[in-house]
Amino acid sequence: MPNPTGIHHITAVAGNPQQNLDFYSGLLGLRLVKKTVNFDDPSTYHLFYGNAEGRPGSILSFFTSSQVAQGEPDTGSGVAVGLSIPTTSVDFWTDYLSTHNVDFVDPFERFGKLVIGFQDPDGLYLELIGNPAANKKEETGSSSVPAEHAIRGLHGITLAEENYQATGQLLTESLGFKEVTQEHDRILYQSNTDLGGSVELIDNPKLDGKPGKGTVHHIAFRANDKNDQQSIRQNLLGIGYHLTETEDRYYFKSFFFHEPGGALLEVATNSPGFTVDEHTDTLGEDLSLPPKLERKRALIEANLPNLAPVN
């Protein structure tokens, strides 16, 4: 049996990169862990946000481009990104979002946890989820959010599926999750990790969306090391999934495939991690490029918009 350990990161599509940085780092208080480019399109930023150390399970990243069209959630895609907050921080966040004029859904209970729903400036639906596991996770906080209330990392992802059963089988037989419970048309799957350990499937939603800004691009699941990754890969191949080749993405090695409903999934190694080219204390301060793009740094920097630091 393969041994994945939950979600490694979630990547979404955003528009204006400065607006994205101001919202996620400035307003929500996440740390900009890595300022790099889309390796397949170095003319655009790929911004990674996470906790103070940039650990797998805390990472939410964005392909950004001011030219990208508006998207809408669709069946066979991620429709909500869950972020873990301490259970004692729900009142703080409702007051905080109100103060900063962010519209939100009043806290409601789902699967025994309080949830606050709202959208980012591009329309990506986010949920702050009071997670008991987040109570014991320390965080440094930021200039905008006190440490005791800071987002600890990912909680999970919600996928909308025309027929959830095949995706549920993939989660339980190949990606290390267990089916836990069901509420109405939602089924909860859980892995044995505190951060990024939840996947919720919505069965047979009535959605007719399209890719673009404000949508989830892919969900990456964690492999402890290359041996675990190879085990997962062989398992998926044996079932009949079509996989990309495993590629070196500098901060991790990964391959991609589509789950039965159509969502794009990735399996990424925990190492070498985001400190491979920067010290923990200075993560995200400078433009980071993989060695294969380093020789083009001057050209790449000239074509990228300037990003003002978040105060």
Backbone φ/ψ region at 79: left (φ over 0), alpha (ψ -120 to 50), beta: alpha
How far out from the chain centre does Cα 292 lie? Answer: 25
Q: What confidence score (pLDDT) does residue 143 get? A: 77
**What is the DSSP pairing of strand 186-190 with strand 198-203?**
antiparallel
The domain locations on the chain are 4-303
- Reported as a single tens digit per residue, the pLDDT across 65-88 is 999 999 999 999 999 999 999 999
Residues 6+ away with beta carbon under 8 Å from 88? 130, 135, 148
- H-helix or E-strand containing 234? helix 226-239
Q: What confidence score (pLDDT) does residue 229 get? A: 95
Q: For tokens 């699967």, what's the residue?
A: 111
Reported pTM: 0.96
Residue 200 buriedness (CB in 10 A; 0-12 / 13-18 / 19+)? buried
- Reported as a single tens digit per residue, the pLDDT across 14-31 is 999 999 999 999 999 999
Q: Which two tokens stand for residue 310?
A: 């978040």
Paired with 84 in beta bridges are 129, 153
Q: What confidence score (pLDDT) does residue 137 get? A: 76
Backbone angles phi, psi at 61, to 5 degrees: -125, 165
Q: What confidence score (pLDDT) does residue 3 get? A: 65
The C-alpha atoms of residue 165 and residue 13 are separated, in whole angstroms, by 27
Backbone angles phi, psi at 183, to 5 degrees: -130, 110
Half-sphere exposure of 218 (CA within 13 A, CB side): 15
Half-sphere exposure of 164 (CA within 13 A, CB side): 20
How far out from the chain centre does Cα 102 lie? Answer: 21
The C-alpha atoms of residue 214 and residue 126 are separated, in whole angstroms, by 10
Low-confidence ranges of the chain (pLDDT < 70): 1-4, 141
From the options 3.40.640.10, 3.10.180.10, 3.40.50.2000, 1.20.1250.20, give the CATH code of 4-303. 3.10.180.10
Q: Rounded to 10 degrees, what is the CA torsion of 101, 102, 105, 109?
A: -110
The C-alpha atoms of residue 233 and residue 30 are separated, in whole angstroms, by 32
Paired with 252 in beta bridges are 272
Q: Which two tokens stand for residue 65?
A: 């481009």
Residue type, position 216, single letter = V
Backbone angles phi, psi at 204, to 5 degrees: 55, 55
Q: What confidence score (pLDDT) does residue 311 get? A: 72
Helices (H) and strands (E) in the chain, counts: 6, 16
Q: What confidence score (pLDDT) does residue 1 get? A: 54
